[in-house]
């Protein structure tokens, strides 16, 4: 993470107090008050008896950020965040997966390390040097390394330079995608920019560059990398461009779906798929008994067509990421829906159909049609104990509603191997 403007000295001093012994005590006291049922106003009044308004703000903000961080870090309750740092941080499971691709026992570097999501995971592989321009990010990263196990890592507050890779066997970087304050998917506008990245790769070719899932990849340099879209919990979390010995499939695209393991930090690969992007599937003559939707990581990588062909599926329409077949299958990269009814879109007919079957819990999904799912849900006024899914799509020129039930993977027959490569 980068910050083009240096934070005020008073703010840096405030965070230094927060991560120190006194801040730890006040965070624990505020957490205990919250656990015992005290509200924000009550906690604020109590803290203001002894702390300045700024320190009260830092304590309350940190409690809020720790609550929000629980879905990213199993140990969030003892970590430190800034708002932007938490938003940009790689979650613990994705970071663990990425770190496992780095060489073990060799010096590593994490550039633009932010609050340390990737840095902590990499430090378990070997001594890792972290670098970030933002002094607050560096301060929080050092604190997180300390409270989460005293891992073998150091953090420097400075601009990224090729000399930061001195002695490193491999490196990771998360270029700032908000150099001008607004998020961008244009890699050329990131900080560090393409010129600096090229010099870093020239110095140490074994590299992992974290990018936005929708990053602009038109530059020729990305064709040399293995481009991997990584998903967890049905969300595409990030795109990583792997170079050098870290690239298992140079010049190819991969979509990888992760799930949390039994232990707090453990991660498992649910599926990983390597293929060619933008492959068109044969179009089905009609909607079959089952409809399938690819995971968000597969869609972001534009590998849904290759995956569908491998699994023997047909497209419902050209360039439409819904697929169909008369057979069911369980694949970690595919959600399966059993078709109950297919009809032209009509609010009146949908409302009648749902009412006749006592369906009140409704999942509405759509592709390629200008329909607001939440607005449609309100208009349908569905009520009842049962549930269903409505898949909205334009098929053969008309808006079609496919009424279905999501099928649990545990009740489906296994598909072909999930570690796949096509093309």
Residue 2 forms beta bridges with which residues?
none
Residue 8 CB partners (closer than 8 Å, separation 6+)? none
> Mean of the pLDDT values across residues 372-392?
94
8 A C-beta contact, residue 336 and residue 311: no
Residue 110 forms beta bridges with which residues?
130, 172
8 A C-beta contact, residue 92 and residue 233: no
pLDDT, tens digit, for every residue of 216-249?
887 778 989 999 999 998 899 999 999 999 999 9
CATH 1.10.3470 fits 290-421, yes or no: no
Q: How many helices (H) and strands (E) does the chain have?
A: 13, 17
pTM of the predicted structure, to 2 decimals: 0.90
pLDDT-wise least confident of 26-30, 193-197, 389-393: 193-197
Residue 328 CB partners (closer than 8 Å, separation 6+)? 289, 290, 336, 338, 407, 412, 413
| Of 95, 234, 82, the residue nearest 172 (C-alpha) | 95
CA-CA distance, 126 to 170, in Å (whole number)? 11
- Listing from the earlier edge strand, what are the strands of the sheet with 253-260? 153-157, 128-132, 108-111, 170-173, 207-211, 235-243, 226-232, 253-260, 267-275, 419-421
CA-CA distance, 154 to 169, in Å (whole number)? 16
- The CA-to-CA distance between both ends of the chain, in Å, stands at 36
Alpha carbon 212 to its chain centroid, in Å, reads 9
Residue 95 forms beta bridges with which residues?
none
Residue 227 forms beta bridges with which residues?
241, 253
Query: What three-state secondary structure class fits 275?
Result: strand
- The third-level CATH classification (topology) of the domain covering 86-274 is Rossmann fold (3.40.50)
8 A C-beta contact, residue 238 and residue 94: yes
Q: Which two tokens stand for residue 234?
A: 């049905």
pLDDT, tens digit, for every residue of 190-201?
889 889 999 999
8 A C-beta contact, residue 132 and residue 155: yes
Residue 265 CB partners (closer than 8 Å, separation 6+)? 74, 92, 93, 96
Residue 185 CB partners (closer than 8 Å, separation 6+)? 177, 212, 214, 215, 216
Q: Where does the pLDDT of residue 3 fall: very low under 50, low under 70, confident under 90, or very high at 90 and above? A: very low
**Which secondary-structure segment (H or E) carries 337?**
strand 334-344
Burial class (CB in 10 A: 0-12, 13-18, 19+), 33: middle
8 A C-beta contact, residue 257 and residue 270: yes
* The predicted structure's pLDDT at residue 30: 96
Q: Where does the pLDDT of residue 262 fall: very low under 50, low under 70, confident under 90, or very high at 90 and above? A: confident
Q: Which two tokens stand for residue 36?
A: 């015992």
**Which secondary-structure segment (H or E) carries 401?**
strand 398-407
Q: Specify the pairing of strand 226-232 against strand 207-211.
A: unpaired
Q: Where does the pLDDT of residue 418 fall: very low under 50, low under 70, confident under 90, or very high at 90 and above? A: very low
Residues in the chain: 423
CA-CA distance, 305 to 319, in Å (whole number)? 9
pLDDT reading at 402 higher than 90: yes
């Amino acid at each position: 993470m980068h910050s083009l403007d240096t934070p005020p000295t008073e703010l840096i001093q405030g965070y230094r107090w927060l991560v120190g012994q006194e801040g730890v005590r006040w965070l624990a006291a505020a957490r205990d008050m919250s656990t015992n049922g005290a509200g924000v106003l009550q906690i604020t009044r109590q803290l203001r008896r002894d702390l300045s308004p700024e320190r009260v703000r830092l304590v309350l903000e940190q409690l809020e950020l720790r609550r929000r961080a629980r879905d990213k870090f199993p140990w969030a309750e003892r970590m430190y965040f800034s708002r932007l740092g938490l938003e940009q941080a790689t979650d613990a499971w994705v970071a663990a997966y990425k770190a496992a691709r780095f060489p073990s026992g060799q010096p590593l570097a994490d550039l633009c390390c932010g609050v340390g999501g990737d840095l902590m995971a990499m430090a378990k592989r070997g001594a890792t040097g972290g670098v970030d321009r933002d002094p607050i990010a560096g301060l929080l990263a050092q604190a997180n390394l300390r409270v989460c196990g005293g891992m073998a890592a150091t953090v420097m507050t400075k601009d990224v330079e090729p000399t930061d890779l001195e002695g490193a066997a491999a490196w990771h970087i998360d270029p700032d995608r908000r150099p001008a304050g607004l998020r961008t998917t244009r890699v050329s506008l990131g900080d560090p920019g393409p010129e600096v990245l090229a010099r870093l790769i020239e110095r140490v070719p074994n590299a992992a560059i974290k990018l936005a899932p929708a990053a602009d990849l038109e530059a020729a340099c990305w064709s040399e990398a293995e481009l991997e879209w990584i998903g967890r919990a049905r969300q595409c979390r990030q795109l990583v461009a792997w170079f050098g010995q870290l690239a298992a499939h140079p010049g190819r695209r991969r979509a990888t779906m992760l799930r949390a393991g039994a232990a707090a930090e453990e991660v498992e690969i649910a599926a990983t798929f390597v293929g060619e992007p933008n492959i068109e599937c044969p179009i089905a003559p009609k909607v079959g008994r089952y409809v399938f939707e690819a995971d968000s990581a597969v869609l972001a990588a534009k590998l849904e067509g290759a995956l569908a062909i491998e699994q023997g599926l047909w497209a419902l329409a050209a360039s439409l990421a819904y697929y169909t077949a008369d057979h069911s299958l369980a694949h970690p990269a595919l959600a399966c829906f059993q078709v109950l009814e297919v009809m032209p879109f009509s609010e009146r007919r949908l409302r009648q159909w749902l009412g006749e079957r006592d369906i009140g819990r409704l999942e509405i999904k759509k592709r390629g049609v200008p329909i607001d799912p939440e607005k449609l849900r309100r208009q349908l006024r569905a009520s009842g104990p049962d549930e269903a899914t409505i898949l909205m799509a334009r098929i053969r020129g008309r808006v079609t509603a496919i009424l279905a039930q999501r099928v649990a993977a545990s009740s489906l027959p296994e598909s072909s191997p999930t570690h796949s490569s096509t093309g």
